[in-house]
Amino acid sequence: MNDTTELARKDETEVARRDEPSQRQVTLTPPVDIFENSQGVTLWADLPGVTKDRLDVKVHDGNLFIEAEAVVPTREGLRLQHAEIRQPHFARAFSLGADLDPSKIDANLKDGVLKLTIPRRDEARPRRIEVRTD
């Protein structure tokens, strides 16, 4: 699995949203931890403030795309004085190796942390060969 975040990165660049001219949107690259073993790859991405309905995980042409938008609510009765990032947009892209099976990806979002489990294809997993004696 290769990290190709440059395709999805817009760090430190504010982009004016066409639908909300008074708001500016910042795209952030979420930090990830990636663990690999003989069974596959597990990816943990930090997406604070993101809910399931604002998360989009896609696989296309051997690439994995994660996009999300966080919602930072303002409490009733309080007035926002300053916000550097009001509704952050997260984006990250990864290239999947041919030994991984994108059709069996399992995704779980809990407390702002996305866990993706990407298993290896059966034929790519190590297997023990039984040796017989005649």
Q: Where are the domains of the chain?
A: 2-73+85-124
Name the β-bridge partners of 95. 2, 63
Per-residue pLDDT tens digits for 36-57: 998 999 999 999 989 999 999 9
Structure tokens, 60? 């296309």
Q: How far is CA 58 from the centre of its chain?
A: 9
Name the β-bridge partners of 69. 89
What is the CATH architecture of 2-73+85-124? Answer: Sandwich (2.60)
C-alpha span between 87 and 27 (Å, rounded): 9
- The residue assigned the tokens 């942390």 is 113
Residue 76, pLDDT > 90, answer no
Contact 44, 118 (CB under 8 A): no
Per-residue pLDDT tens digits for 102-118: 999 999 999 999 999 99
